[in-house]
Structure 1
Amino acid sequence: MLRRTITTALAVVGLAVGAGFASGREVIQYFVSFGIPGLVGAVLAAVLFSLMCLVVLQLGSYYRASEHSAVFNAVTTPFLSRALDLFIIFTLFATGFVMIAGAGANLNQQFGVPVWFGSLALTLLVIVAGMLDVRRVTEVIGVITPVIVVFITAAGIYSFTHPAGTLSELAPVASQVPSTLPNWLISSLNYVAMGFALAVSMAIVMGGDMLDPKSAGRGGLLGGATYGALLLITTFALYFNVNYVAYAEMPTLQLVNFIHPIAGTVMSAVIFAMIFNTAIGMYYALTSRVVAKRPERFRPTIVVLALAGFAVSFVGFGNLVSYLFPVIGYVGIGICLVIAAGWLKARPSIVEEIERRTRIRQLFRKKLDKSQPYSPAEERHLRKEIHASNLDNDQLWRDVSDEVTAELAKDSDQN
């Protein structure tokens, strides 16, 4: 359970850290451009995002959702659910081609290669990774995350030890940086909602792959908190060097190049990996939704969608982040409210179901572990608990049986 929680947390970070964040372009626009109040906004955003990650992964696990509409249908009206569904489909596709554009801009800034080359490279990687199942995708996303943490932390330490000025001295410089957001508070809320709108679909799928809502919630909270810490490090790092990096297409890459050109080259590769993390999350979730009724069409569909994203990406990375992301954020505020309200309403049932699934798991361990006695009364109790669950009884029986069987086999190998 602990391993799954940590794997999920790393995947949440990898999913949330996309082209806009990794490049620093989002951070400049949403926080640094508002000076010292923008730093306060970054703290607020970090806290709120952590809580929303807990909520959405726990809901995904509770409903065992294989795509986002399963949760939307459960927490709101059919009309609103359909509207949210259409918006999320648009958001997933839009974010996908923003990531593709970001990949092109990243390699172009660092190596001078044509923008289309980096964009095409990412498109092909997405197609290849999209051939994997959801658990493998979660692991692919999560495995790159520790590298992200190391490099952003290193860039932060350098920036804090080599600041271009104090907080107050740099405030006038930061305030001159243009933003499409009106003030720091709206910007902070918009950022959380935008990030949530981008991640909610794949986060629901990742939560739905976990049988224990408690572990899913912990994974979401840990992942959200880790992302929040990275957000704060990046915001302060770019703020302390705002006069050097504010107008670069990739401010974070610009900052790391100041440390050393070789570090900049490595950071470019790290940013590309971060962009890939979000891109595969977006396209996997989008394709899962599009082929929900015809899952056998998943592979050809992800190929078509990725190639379509490549075609649209030529609008340009900077323009997409500046104008498209805030629009997504404003609508995303509504999504956050709907999801949070649905979670609060379902919270008592979720708590009850967590306890029920724990008892089911314990009974299954006794049933399958030949070294322990298992009575007919316990069998009746097991069937009663499964019947009381909110999940399909037959599917729950198979899922718990498979997980417990795997656990017992692992325990046996270790002994």
Structure 2
Amino acid sequence: MESNNTFKIASIYIGTVIGAGFASGQEIMQFFTRYGIHGLYGILVASLLFSLVGSFILWKVYRYQIQSYDQLIEPVLGHTVGKMIEGLLSLLLLSGYCIMLAGSGALFQQQFGLPKLSGILVMSFVTFIIFLFSIRGLAWINMVVVPILFIGIMSMGIWVIFSCGFTLSNEVGSTFNVYTGNWITSALLYVSYNSIGATVVMCSLLPLISSPNAALRGGVLGGMGLGLLAMFLLLPTLILYTDINGVEIPMMAIASKLGSSMQIGYGILLWFAMLTTAIADGFVLIQTIEKHLLGRHIWHCLFFCIAAIPLANIGFKTLVNALYPMFGYMGIGVALLFVFKR
């Protein structure tokens, strides 16, 4: 039973982080591929940090019986400031959910030739059904989807290696990011950037954490899984960097080189990655809503999913450019709160 919960926790951790930016390869390109072979070292550092952060957060959740992120914030910042931060976190969770809906719309439009609204509505409907089952739905969908993502992403990486050979593009590493400086600081920023959603979601996983060992193993397994996935995204982008540099969805561009069926298949994988992140963000926000509003769970879920649709119509790129940097700054603050709590 405990081993099953460990896998559930790790799957939710991975599913929360591996959203559109991760699975598309864009985040890997920005944070690691640009450093060439040194990007491999960056992935190893990030994997270790993900394991440490995940284990530490989950252990804290079990140790102090934390059931929601407000129980983390208010004891440290006080009631007034804590409520302000909770409000901002709720806004960011709503934004994250809307970004995944918008991403689904963009994917349906660009890759499958369907109306953008159809992609938004499909994502909204599927998440609504899963939200009805609360944490059981969150755990089940991640246990099903995360292994599929592993198989798909690793298969793509292996296919590229065998098709193109393990020869890195001579352009890799020629352009360095002046904001991140080097692969070490880039790895640190990457983990911080992704810590906000993971931290907030893991604050809601107490029912799944049966012991301190389950917490530690779940964090380590999740961190190692993220590192392995990142490695199999990094290798194809290193090999084909010259061809995909500047492309909005690098992994989709790589898939198109391997045939139309592979492109469609990876489009489906990318949609699943968006789904896991959308569910994680929405699940926590619905829990927050239910603490303040009376009513049946089904109506809260329905209201939330319908209210998010107009916001998702703003557009994927617009939402990402405007809101993703905020997640990075908030991630640092929330991580520090966990370090200094009690």
Q: TM-score, normalised by structure 1?
A: 0.74
* 5+ long unaligned stretches in structure 1: 346-415
Check 1:235–1:254 CA distance in 2 against 1; reply closer, same or farther (3 A cut).
Answer: same
Is 1:54 aligned to 2:52, yes or no?
Answer: no
Q: 2: distance between equivalents of 1:246 and 1:120?
A: 32
Equivalent residue for 2:205?
206
Matches within 5 A, 1:2-13: 2-13=3-14
- The one-letter amino acid paired with 1:235 is L
Q: 1: distance between equivalents of 2:230 and 2:12?
A: 16
CA RMSD, Structure 1 to Structure 2 (Å): 2.6
* Cα deviations by residue, 1:185-241 (Å, 9 ceiling, x for unpaired): 544333212211012222221234423232122112211211121112212322221
Equivalent residue for 1:358?
none
Check 1:243–1:27 CA distance in 2 against 1; reply closer, same or farther (3 A cut).
Answer: same
Q: 2: distance between equivalents of 1:31 and 1:304?
A: 40
Check 1:320–1:242 CA distance in 2 against 1; reply closer, same or farther (3 A cut).
Answer: farther
- The one-letter amino acid paired with 2:140 is E
Higher RCO (CA-CA < 8 Å; seq separation 6+):
2
Check 1:43–1:76 CA distance in 2 against 1; reply closer, same or farther (3 A cut).
Answer: farther
Q: 1: distance between equivalents of 2:338 and 2:218?
A: 18
In structure 2, the residue corresponding to 1:310 is in which secondary structure? helix
In structure 2, the residue corresponding to 1:170 is in which secondary structure? coil
In structure 2, the residue corresponding to 1:183 is in which secondary structure? coil
Matched residue count = 340
- The one-letter amino acid paired with 1:91 is L
Is 1:170 aligned to 2:164, yes or no?
Answer: no
Larger Rg: 1
Is 1:98 aligned to 2:96, yes or no?
Answer: no
Equivalent residue for 1:367?
none
Q: Aligned residues: percent identity?
A: 24
Equivalent residue for 2:262?
263
Matches within 5 A, 1:24-173: 24-74=25-75, 77-78=78-79, 81-163=82-164, 166-167=167-168, 169-171=170-172
Q: 2: distance between equivalents of 1:93 and 1:180?
A: 31
Question: What is the CA-CA distance between 1:181 and the residue it aligns to?
Answer: 4.4
In structure 2, the residue corresponding to 1:65 is in which secondary structure? coil
Q: 2: distance between equivalents of 1:152 and 1:129?
A: 24
Equivalent residue for 1:183?
181
In structure 2, the residue corresponding to 1:113 is in which secondary structure? coil
Equivalent residue for 1:318?
317
- The one-letter amino acid paired with 1:315 is I
Question: What is the CA-CA distance between 1:112 and the residue it aligns to?
Answer: 1.8
* Cα deviations by residue, 1:324-346 (Å, 9 ceiling, x for unpaired): 3233112311211221333xx5x
- The one-letter amino acid paired with 1:183 is G
* Cα deviations by residue, 1:4-24 (Å, 9 ceiling, x for unpaired): 112221222122211111122
Question: What is the CA-CA distance between 1:297 and the residue it aligns to?
Answer: 4.6
Q: 2: distance between equivalents of 1:91 and 1:211?
A: 29
8 Å contact kept, 2:19–2:277: yes
Q: TM-score, normalised by structure 2?
A: 0.88
